[in-house]
């Protein structure tokens, strides 16, 4: 099982989580002075690749101090329990709202099955293993930890999910963004740079909170954003603008469908059209077709998340 790795500066390695398909989700291994941390874990199926990466770096399982899922969606945290069981010295660092779900994953599993269905759940996530409470560190907003001499700082990051934090690393001047900086699959990189799409997975999309989170992150003037889907992006100003616009457009599309019949289907059609229009500005038609196919499951999830959000608005109104 050879892991697919991308090496970045500052002791940061991107490890393909082999979730759904290569290039779809990743985890990061950070090494500082012989001590290591994983940021995001992928699923249980990703863990063998993570353990192999430790070996390739001439490290031992004892050298890993932290396992840090950015939030408890299972493509980011599903493998955390299994991974922790292999790393005797590691602490799990997690958002306060995520911690109960890592200690007792029952509700999380039920919620994920509700979104993906039983069959896909088994195929993608396997078994979810609980983590002993004594090994869990809760990171409130602005909490800091030390990896050897390196400081990692946690920012509460609602918008994609309320149990989401982002991790600021001064050494690389970068954020580990989980899903807070959207999706940017490398297949879409071209001479115009990277392409970003928001991810509004059920059930806690909050557009206003998301915009505020981005403002807080940009205060740090980061040079790198390490995305889970997928890899490092730079050109922060252009991509932030693209992401902010995408979040606004998604919220407006969902609101415009408020009173439609088959609302989720209508939202799905409209966000697909919206994506096609953006893709056509950058790519020839045959590639647009390929990329729409690549985003198929994201479009489904985004539509489902927008439906949950607009339903909540509807109830309040
Ligand atoms: Zn994700």
pTM here?
0.96
CATH number of the CATH domain containing 201: 3.60.15.10
Q: Does 137 share its domain with 164? A: yes
Q: Does 100 share its domain with 162? A: yes
What is the whole-number distance in angstroms between the Cα of residue 228 and the centre of ligand 1? 7
Q: Which DSSP string do the residues of 207-270 spell out, in sequence order? A: HHHHHHHHHHHHTT--SEEEETTTEEE--HHHHHHHHHHHHHHHHHHHHHTTT-TTHHHHHHHH
What confidence tens digit (pLDDT) does each residue in 26-80 have? 999 999 999 999 999 999 999 999 999 999 999 999 999 999 999 999 999 999 9
Q: Does 228 share its domain with 261? A: no
What is the whole-number distance in angstroms between the Cα of residue 309 and the centre of ligand 1? 18
pLDDT, residue 203, reads 87
Instruction: Measure the CA–CA gap between 55 and 184, rounded to whole angstroms.
Output: 29
What is the whole-number distance in angstroms between the Cα of residue 46 and the centre of ligand 1? 14
What is the whole-number distance in angstroms between the Cα of residue 317 and the centre of ligand 1? 30
What is the whole-number distance in angstroms between the Cα of residue 133 and the centre of ligand 1? 24
What confidence tens digit (pLDDT) does each residue in 213-258 have? 999 999 999 999 999 999 999 999 999 999 999 999 999 999 999 9
Within a domain: 247: no
Within a domain: 207: yes
What is the whole-number distance in angstroms between the Cα of residue 76 and the centre of ligand 1? 6
Domain count of the fold of the chain: 2
What is the whole-number distance in angstroms between the Cα of residue 256 and the centre of ligand 1? 26
Within a domain: 248: no
What is the whole-number distance in angstroms between the Cα of residue 195 and the centre of ligand 1? 16
Q: What's the sign of the alpha-carbon dihedral 136, 218, 244, 313?
A: positive
């Amino acid at each position: 099982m050879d892991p697919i790795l991308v090496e970045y500066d500052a002791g940061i390695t991107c490890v393909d989580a082999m979730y759904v398909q290569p290039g779809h989700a990743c985890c990061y291994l950070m090494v500082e002075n012989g001590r290591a941390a994983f940021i995001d874990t992928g699923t249980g199926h990703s863990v063998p690749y993570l353990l192999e990466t430790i070996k390739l770096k001439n490290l031992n399982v004892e050298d890993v101090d932290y396992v840090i899922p950015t939030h408890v969606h299972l493509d980011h945290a599903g493998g955390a329990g299994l991974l922790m069981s292999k790393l005797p010295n590691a602490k799990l660092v997690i958002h306060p709202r995520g911690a109960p779900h890592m200690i007792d994953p029952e509700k999380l599993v039920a919620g994920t099955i509700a979104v993906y269905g039983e069959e896909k759940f088994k195929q993608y996530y396997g078994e979810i293993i609980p983590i002993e409470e004594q090994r869990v560190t809760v990171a409130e907003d602005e909490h800091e930890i030390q990896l050897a001499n390196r400081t990692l700082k946690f920012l509460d990051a609602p918008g994609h999910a309320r149990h989401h934090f982002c991790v600021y690393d001064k050494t690389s001047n970068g954020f580990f963004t989980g899903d807070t900086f959207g999706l940017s699959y490398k297949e879409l990189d071209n001479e115009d740079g990277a392409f970003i799409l928001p991810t509004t997975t059920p059930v806690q999309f909050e557009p206003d909170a998301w915009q505020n989170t981005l403002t807080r992150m940009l205060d740090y003037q980061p040079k790198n954003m390490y995305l889970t889907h997928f890899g490092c992006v730079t050109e922060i100003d252009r991509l932030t603008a693209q992401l902010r616009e995408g979040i606004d457009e998604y919220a407006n599309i969902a609101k415009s469908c408020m009173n439609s019949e088959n609302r989720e289907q209508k939202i799905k059609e409209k966000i697909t059209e919206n994506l096609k229009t953006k893709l056509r500005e950058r790519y020839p038609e045959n590639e647009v077709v390929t990329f729409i196919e690549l985003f198929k499951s994201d479009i489904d999830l985004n539509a489902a998340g927008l439906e949950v959000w607009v339903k909540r608005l509807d109830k309040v109104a």
